[in-house]
Amino acid sequence: MSVGFRAVQWNRDKIVYDAILIAATAIYIAGFAAIVWTANPPKNLPDAIDVWIRAFGTAAFLMLTVILCIGPLARLDRRFLTLLYNRRHFGVLTFFVACVHGWLMIEWFAAQDALHTLMPELMTLADYGKFIGFPFKALGIAALLILFLMAATSHDFWLAFLTPPVWKALHMLLYAAYAMVVMHVALGIMQYDRSPLIPAMLIVCFGAVAALHLLAIWRERHGDRGPTLTADGWIAVGPPASIPDKAARIVVAPGGERIAVFRDGSEIGALTNLCAHQNGPLGEGRIIDGCVTCPWHGYQYRLADGCAPAPFTERLATYRVRLSGGTLEVDPHPLPPGTPASIHLPNGAPLA
């Protein structure tokens, strides 16, 4: 959360996260190159460059796979939220690793004095209709451009400038980039390298991404049973005690919008489930220091009115809440962001 912008809002967690990330990436790339170099020593400069191309290329592919797995993993098991916290730095590092892969490819052409063949290879339109012989490098370049756009707009400034829905939509292009990278590998290296490791890596990684996303969607839909509505159209949530203290229950409005109903002692409030920062699942967060705290990046909002505490300016839509015959009910129609709407339970209301 910020009223002004700094390059990076460093804290201990981010430093540790980045240190582990950089170390793991360096170990993988160095280890990959060492193993291939030992097993099959390069005979000339292009062969040596090729080893590094593969090391950086597979590293970027694996990093992209992990990045795409973090979201559904965090939804399936809260312990993975730690990985999600600094995912943007993960993405930026992936872009730099992919950049080195691309630069090494140019070096490989240059080492063979064949740089002049690269552009014609990309510009021969007839080849784009072929399966074998498809200019797969074009797919890699397109994916790299998407990664650049994402890395370049990863700063919080862009979230505020483009607005969260546009920013989120832009960053969903990662899925398109991943599909292009999968095709880049399938139509490229897999066509002339007969090692079973490459198809195995492709199948396992793509399968993991697809399976985790399907599992997370299934789990979310399974939990989203249709709302029980009162005669006047409010959503019946249940007794106040059914909401854990300093946490939330998520209910689904008839239109499909998810509403997080929080309880902080005897205070009950309902907010949209989407954090104003990156649409994080607010209802999976907790109340910390008196504020609803998003599990993704720690953005905070007051339960009473959905406003971030001063000097911050973010505001969320709130929902009216009432206690009727011992059952909490929520009006499914959102109030304008920042409208006070929480209630205090009367003394003696059962909370345990």
Partner 1 sequence: MSAEIVLFLAVAVYGAAGLAVGAAFVTVAAGRVLSAPGASQPVSFTFGARLLILPGAAALWPYVLLRWRRALRQP
For partner 1, which is the closer residue by CB, 160 or 189?
160
Query: Least distance from C-beta 149 to partner 1, angstroms?
Result: 6
State how far the Cα of 59 lies from the Cα of 92, in Å rounded to an integer: 13
For partner 1, which is the closer residue by CB, 119 or 310?
119
- Specify the 3-state DSSP secondary structure of 123: helix
For partner 1, which is the closer residue by CB, 3 or 231?
3
Query: Least distance from C-beta 161 to partner 1, angstroms?
Result: 6
Query: Least distance from C-beta 112 to partner 1, angstroms?
Result: 19
Query: Least distance from C-beta 19 to partner 1, angstroms?
Result: 19
State how far the Cα of 212 lies from the Cα of 69, in Å rounded to an integer: 7
- Specify the 3-state DSSP secondary structure of 54: helix
Query: Least distance from C-beta 118 to partner 1, angstroms?
Result: 10
Residue 263's Cβ-side half-sphere holds a number of Cα atoms within 13 Å equal to 21
For partner 1, which is the closer residue by CB, 283 or 338?
338
Sequence-separated (6 or more) residues with CB below 8 Å from residue 152: none
For partner 1, which is the closer residue by CB, 119 or 197?
119
State how far the Cα of 329 lies from the Cα of 228, in Å rounded to an integer: 10
Give the residue among 330, 323, 331 at the shortest CA–CA distance from 347.
Answer: 323
Measured between its terminal Cα atoms, the distance across the chain in Å is: 34
For partner 1, which is the closer residue by CB, 167 or 301?
167
Burial class (CB in 10 A: 0-12, 13-18, 19+), 335: middle
Query: Least distance from C-beta 207 to partner 1, angstroms?
Result: 33
- Contacts to partner 1 by CB under 8 A: 3-8, 119-120, 123, 148-149, 151-153, 155, 157-158, 160-161
